[in-house]
Chain A
Amino acid sequence: MTSTIILLYVYTSTVIPMLFKLNQSAGQPLYLQLMQQIRHAVESGALQHGDQLPGIRTLAEELVISPTTVAKAYSELEHDGLLELRQGSGAFISVKRRAQGEMQRVHQAGRQVRRLINELRESGIQENEIRRIFEAELLYPAEVLSKR
């Protein structure tokens, strides 16, 4: 499994070192991985309202990935209301109230997963087995899950 870790410095007054980890063989498009990591950075508080992200071109060059990938991630995040793209001046994090509700749901989900993992551990299932089950279930197409 190959992954690229690149420390990225945002060149503004709100300098935030941002860590991106792209996994080429995760079975997930790179633009989705970027989106999730930016979203997670917002949920964890690493990125806050008004913080600036590097421009499409800068980020593509830093990560050595196609600019189309970065553009797609940014425009989807903009569509979700998490990012504001300003012509010529870059991308800014925008945490609206609705997005904050989303954050609470994610925190809630985190607690649920933690509880489940604890239960499984207590029942004697090995950690690597739990990880494998989670990963396998996540890769199960949603269409099949709903019929199960």
Chain B
Amino acid sequence: MTSIPVIETKDLSKSYGHVEAVRSLNFSVKPHQITAFLGLNGAGKSTTIRMLLGMIRPNSGHGFVLGHRIDDAHESVSLRRKVAYVSENKQLYDYMTVEQIIRFTRPFYPDWSRAREQVLLGAYELPPNRRIRSLSKGMRTKLALLLALARKPELLILDEPSEGLDPIGIELMLTSLVEQNSEGTTVFFSSHQIPEVERVADHICLLHRGSLVLDASLDDIRQSYRQIDLVFPSPPDESDIRLAGVESIRASGRQMSVLVSRNAEMLIERAHALHASSVEVSPIGLREIFLQTVKGC
């Protein structure tokens, strides 16, 4: 198994007029993993994805996808052959039927799997003769997914894939991602839906206002991120508590609630040294980390 990153960016930036959509972004995606690209609406997720695919050009910085430069028009062609992309708005030819667009798309990709196509057509309950124009939002998403998955790509990039899907549709989509990943495809998907990210992702990249604010594996998050609730007879100065690994502190009267990303043991020792009358450690979910990180920025 190679460990050369499938996606890598160096100081990638993009502005629209005075608005800095992506600021000096440095991140990488490991092969064969499922990486979630989290962030609020407007955080810069779609802009980043569109830069990675060579659809828009960065103002500065570099990026590589499967070893290809993202800002080189020639490399962009071979890159798009290896990468399947499901866009946010799932734009498809409206006048075609489901069957027609599948037949139209198929010859572009030598690795296209007819078997996979048929399995997904059945699983997603897509009506072959229906025109795309008259499909519901959820069905369009499923069709876009089918067109991406039947290609058996090296890398699958999805922009908000669960948008417009009902709970069963989300379950089907997640199962498809897992299936695809177990065949060796690296998966990179953007989302603001914590529960789905929490279930399938190996790694999280959290984008806020165009900057990367969290880059961690979910195993590390579950293992090392803790909320430590402290009670002090007389509250100490926040600077006494702000050790390495402390991400945020909320104080209220004699109580203090601290979010740490590592070094929980050091903080506990410090709390005892500061005569804390109660020290409680609890795990912290991705939702709280997401909210506190985004609020603290």
Instruction: Kindly identify, within residues 1 to 49 of chain A, every residue whose CB is under 8 Å from any CB belonging to chain B.
Output: 2, 4, 24-31
Q: Which residue of B lies closest to A26 (CB)?
A: B283
* Distance from A74 Cβ to chain B, minimum over Cβ atoms (Å): 13
B74 CB, min distance to chain A CBs, angstroms = 34
CB pair A24–B285 under 8 Å, yes or no, is yes
Binds B, one of A92-100, A102-110, A111-119, A139-147: A139-147
Q: List chain B residues, Cβ under 8 A from A136.
A: 280-282
Point out the residues of chain A lying under 8 angstroms from B201, CB to CB.
66
Among residues of B, the one whose C-beta sits closest to the C-beta of A60 is B178
Q: Are B200 and A65 in contact (CB under 8 A)?
A: yes
Instruction: Find chain A residues with CB under 8 A from B281 CB.
Output: 136, 139-141
Given A24-B285, A26-B222: A66 and B181 within 8 A (CB)? yes
Expressed in whole angstroms, the minimum distance between the Cβ of B291 and any Cβ of chain A is: 14
- Per-residue 0/1 for B257-297: is the Cβ within 8 Å of any A Cβ (1 yes, 0 no)? 00000001100110000000000111111100000000000
Q: Which residues of A contact B182 (CB under 8 A)?
A: 56-57, 60-61, 67
Q: Which residues of A contact B223 (CB under 8 A)?
A: 27-29
Shortest B199–chain A CB gap in Å is 6
In the docked arrangement, what's the CA distance between A147 and B84, Å?
A: 53
Q: Which residues 174-206 of B sit at the A interface, judged by CB distance below 8 A?
A: 174-175, 178-179, 181-182, 195, 198-202
Contacts of A140 in B (CB 8 A): 268, 281
Partner of A64, one of B171, B202, B265: B171
Query: Contacts A144-B265, A144-B269 given: A67-B282 contact, CB under 8 Å?
Result: no
B120 to A: closest C-beta gap in Å? 14
Q: How far is the CA of A126 from the CA of B137 in the complex (A)?
A: 52
Chain A hits for B62, CB < 8 A = none
Contacts of B202 on A, CB cut-off 8 Å?
66, 68-69
Is B34 among interface residues, defined by CB-CB distance under 8 A?
yes
CB distance from B185 to the nearest CB of A (A): 11
The verdict on B151 contacting chain A, using a C-beta distance below 8 Å, is no
Quick one: given A24-B198, A24-B199, A30-B222, are A61 and B268 in contact (CB under 8 Å)?
A: no
Which residues of A are at the interface with B, using a C-beta cutoff of 8 A? 2, 4, 24-31, 56-57, 60-61, 64-69, 136, 139-141, 143-144, 147
**Apart from A24-B285, A144-B269, 17 more pairs, CB < 8 Å:** A4-B199, A24-B199, A27-B225, A29-B222, A30-B218, A56-B182, A64-B174, A64-B178, A65-B200, A67-B182, A68-B202, A136-B282, A139-B226, A141-B265, A141-B268, A141-B281, A144-B268
